[in-house]
Structure 1
Amino acid sequence: MDWIELFFLHPVSFYQGAAFPFALLFNYLCIWDSFSTWARYLFLLAGGGVLALAAMGVYAVLVFIPAACAVVLVSSLGPQDVHRWTFFFQMSWQTLCHLGLHYTEYYLQEPPSPRFCVTLSSLMLLTQRVTSLSLDICEGKVEPATGGIGSRRCVSEHLRKALPYCSYLLFFPALLGGPLCSFQRFQAHVQASSSLCGCSFWALTWRGLQILGLECLKVVLRGVVGAGAGLTDCQQLECIYVLCATAGLFKLTYYSQWMLDDWLLHAAGFGSACDRSTGEEGYVPDADIWTLETAHRLALFTRKWNQSTARWLRRLVFQQCRRWPLLQTFAFSAWWHGLHPGQVFGFLCWAVMVEADYLIHAFADSSLRSWPLKLLYRTFSWAHTQLIAAYIMLAVEGRSLSALWSLCNSYNSVFPIVYCVLLFLLVKRKHKVN
């Protein structure tokens, strides 16, 4: 159970909470006209630098270097080339850092430094912002900095043009977590005359109460999981109970962290309650707990799980692929997460399950006529969706080969196998019909 303990002892929540007063201070200072736009950019950037040093220590350099290189590339390359080169550099850098984690965990057989784990998490979020910005420039949504690094403009002019990009890539409310915020939306909020919202107090209070409730549920469920058997020593149907309890604890941890990230962004004035029109889709929170817990379709669960990341993957990979877009999207997600054995298996299994989900529900919609059968089917599909999601979650979070082997050898493997069999039969039937 070491990998579970490592997951729940992650220190990101502590530093997100420590940044909360500074987010409120930024929101308050934005009321005053004397707090200029450039001062706001500097405040957010300086806060990101301080938070990175506090949370990551010397590893913060691994975040500062790619952020600086991304700004140089964005400022020097044309719209046609900027996305290709920034994507290549950022993913290469992130992959090298993940390989360092592989070396520590699998070769040296040592637990990774918590600060290094925080750094990798921040790097993954930085990749989202870098690629989102480069895509916006490539698609003409954001005007690139003119002149380039090699122009004859003075240094101060270069720095003035680069400051919004630097601030966006390292601004402290989103440095360690939170939904992806586009550069357009970030710039609109910073340049607005006031970030403080009249309803922000009640929005923050409600989110604080939700976080408190989720943390209380986590304490209760952690005691249940800790007192029971694990996947390595569970017996037959007991493994299904272990699967549900452990996945429930993972879900509560994710929900709590997403709510905390959302809370911090609201405190800084970047939340949905403070949304302003930017000509694009507004704020997208990562946690839609009700939809996730009531979803009877795995495809819906997939779209709503970590919503901003799901939309980012759809834009970055799915919409760019002509062949096998679903498989390529989940394969890239495994690469982005670090290519641990459990992650590779989990995300590829997820892709197959979603493909099966489309065919199964299309067949059911055309075959079931009476409402009792539809109700019964919806109940069984809800249960199966939640069990498959739990199975994938344990595979991805387990990461190592030993944890993956324990999961695959348990009775829980029946659930994805059922979907695989149905996928095979429905594909065969579809070919016959065609």
Structure 2
Amino acid sequence: MDWLQLVSLHPVSLYQLVAFPFAVLFNYLCLTDSFSTRARYLFLLAGGGALASAAMGSYSLLVLTPAFCAGVLVSSLGAQEVHRLTFFFQMSWQTLCHLGLHYAEYYLQEPPPVRFYISLSSLMLLTQRVTSLSLDISEGKVEKTPGGTRSRSSLAEHLCKALPYFSYLLFFPALLGGPLCSFQRFRARIQRSNSLYPSISFWALTWRGLQIIGLECLKVALRRLVSPGAGLDDCQQLECVYVMWHTAGLFKLTYYSHWILDDSLLHAAGFGSESGQRPGEEGYVPDADIWMLETTHRISLFTRQWNRSTARWLKRLVFQNSRCWPVLQTFAFSAWWHGLHPGQVFGFLCWAVMVEADYLIHTFATVFFRSWPLQLLYRALAWAHTQLIIAYIMLAVEVRSLSSLWLLCCSYNSAFPMLYCVLLFLLAKRKPKCN
């Protein structure tokens, strides 16, 4: 009976699968001689609008409205001010939407419809594309199409020049999920000639499909290891550690399968990793490197590899522009971007402290553990501790109620991050002074 859960798809996955044939159709039309560049932009834009309406219903206005406004701002503002104003507008809109979610969850005590959650998730991805595009323009990586004077340039001409921006912000393969695709890569793929447009690798898609099936089977098997209804509210002592590891494992498997499906959709449309990247074209960064995530003994490395395109986006947007406490500022902004739920604020700030501790601990470990048996033992213990800390952070971020967060903090699981906090405090005093 549990194997029936394999066919009970998440709503986002269901709509991604519905969009899959249209991505294949887009790829096929790009390989023909009758699909012009403007037709490609319009196809992706129309597909994004249709997918938003189907998946979100009336809540699609929460995504379509800021996308239209951001497209107007990007096409009308100068390179010096475009990033500041678009960032302020986009984050303000997203924050208001998250506040509406808080009001429904904490005050009305009524969870909003699933379509509202889908729109918020899509809005967060839209924020990535908007800020990435504005940064590219302000840094001179993307040159805006020069427009004519107001007396000579009609509204239709303005819309035609802004069409690539609107299409990029709403193109359907990346509307509901997927790694961040830069505007440079997007435009380079659209403007390719028909003979050079990348074709679909059916072997790559088949391999991704087998990975998704394997991950879903692992989820079913992992559910059988714990009795139904087991949680932190009814576990005892060390049993809570096992419950935490089990629950976090289910979350990670869900993320992995979603990321692979999103990557498959982008690949089917011609924007994927194996789609014939040319010299000088910006590289494609998939979100999931499962082997690296599950084998690393470094929290800092796990952080850089977890949802890699988002990690690189945060590094570019926040980390590289922070003059003091860049790690803390990056995780604080990540909590803001995710919605500022109490568990998210606590989890991301805890994550920042764990990353800082990880740098110091492993720096001193390379000095004290010289022989290979000690290094092997250290790596094994560090791997187990890293997985438990990540599980702790993941549960803190995913919980929605203060009571669940309190149960997590009062359980035996808090001993794992507390150990890293103590080591951070002790080793910080011995850290040599350096720039």
Normalised-by-shorter TM-score class: over 0.9
CA–CA separation in structure 2 for the residues paired with 1:196 and 1:287: 25
Give the corresponding residue for 1:303.
Answer: 304
Point out the more displaced range, 44-53 or 269-278. 269-278
**2:142 counterpart letter in structure 1:** V
Q: Secondary structure of the equivalent of 1:206? A: helix
Asked if 1:162 is matched to 2:158, the reply is: no
CA–CA separation in structure 2 for the residues paired with 1:183 and 1:30: 18
Q: Secondary structure of the equivalent of 1:232? A: coil
Give the corresponding residue for 1:38.
Answer: 38
Give the corresponding residue for 1:65.
Answer: 65
Give the corresponding residue for 2:376.
Answer: 375
**1:80 counterpart letter in structure 2:** Q
Give the corresponding residue for 1:333.
Answer: 334
CA–CA separation in structure 2 for the residues paired with 1:222 and 1:148: 62
CA–CA separation in structure 2 for the residues paired with 1:433 and 1:321: 18
Asked if 1:201 is matched to 2:190, the reply is: no
CA–CA separation in structure 1 for the residues paired with 2:58 and 2:209: 32
Give the corresponding residue for 2:110.
Answer: 110
Give the corresponding residue for 1:247.
Answer: 248
Q: Secondary structure of the equivalent of 1:361? A: helix
Point out the more displaced range, 211-220 or 335-344. 211-220
Q: Secondary structure of the equivalent of 1:339? A: coil
Give the corresponding residue for 1:173.
Answer: 173
CA–CA separation in structure 1 for the residues paired with 2:240 and 2:260: 30
Point out the more displaced range, 141-150 or 404-413. 141-150
* Contact in 1 for aligned 2:200/2:270 (Cα 8 Å): no
Give the corresponding residue for 1:227.
Answer: 228
Q: Secondary structure of the equivalent of 2:245? A: helix
1:122–1:112 Cα change, 3 Å: same
* Contact in 1 for aligned 2:185/2:282 (Cα 8 Å): no
User: What fraction of aligned residue pairs are identical, expressed as a percent?
Assistant: 77
Aligned counterparts, 1:244-283, within 5 A:
244-277=245-278, 279=280, 281-283=282-284
Q: Secondary structure of the equivalent of 1:309? A: helix
Compute the displacement of 1:428 (Å): 1.6
* Contact in 2 for aligned 1:185/1:278 (Cα 8 Å): no
1:332–1:275 Cα change, 3 Å: farther
Point out the more displaced range, 285-294 or 403-412. 403-412
1:315-360 CA deviation, whole Å, 9 max, x = no partner?
A: 0000001111000000000000000000000000000000000000
1:115–1:31 Cα change, 3 Å: same
Structure 2's unaligned 5+ residue stretches are none
RMSD across aligned positions (CA): 1.9
Q: Secondary structure of the equivalent of 2:51? A: helix
Point out the more displaced range, 52-61 or 145-154. 145-154
CA–CA separation in structure 2 for the residues paired with 1:106 and 1:10: 24
**1:252 counterpart letter in structure 2:** L
CA–CA separation in structure 1 for the residues paired with 2:211 and 2:169: 29
Compute the displacement of 1:151 (Å): 6.4
Compute the displacement of 1:65 (Å): 0.7
1:342-379 CA deviation, whole Å, 9 max, x = no partner?
A: 00000000000000000000000112111111110000
* Contact in 1 for aligned 2:97/2:120 (Cα 8 Å): yes
Compute the displacement of 1:160 (Å): 1.0
1:121–1:323 Cα change, 3 Å: same
Asked if 1:365 is matched to 2:361, the reply is: no
1:176-235 CA deviation, whole Å, 9 max, x = no partner?
A: 000000000001111112476456111111111111111111222234345262011100
* Contact in 2 for aligned 1:184/1:278 (Cα 8 Å): no
Runs of 4+ residues over 6 Å off in structure 1: 431-434
1:59–1:198 Cα change, 3 Å: closer
Give the corresponding residue for 1:97.
Answer: 97
1:163–1:411 Cα change, 3 Å: same
Point out the more displaced range, 402-411 or 166-175. 402-411
Structure 1's unaligned 5+ residue stretches are none
* Contact in 2 for aligned 1:74/1:145 (Cα 8 Å): no
Aligned residues: 428
Asked if 1:51 is matched to 2:51, the reply is: yes
CA–CA separation in structure 1 for the residues paired with 2:214 and 2:26: 27
**2:160 counterpart letter in structure 1:** R
CA–CA separation in structure 2 for the residues paired with 1:317 and 1:151: 40
CA–CA separation in structure 2 for the residues paired with 1:97 and 1:258: 24
* Contact in 2 for aligned 1:75/1:148 (Cα 8 Å): no
What TM-score do you get using the length of structure 1 for normalisation?
Answer: 0.95
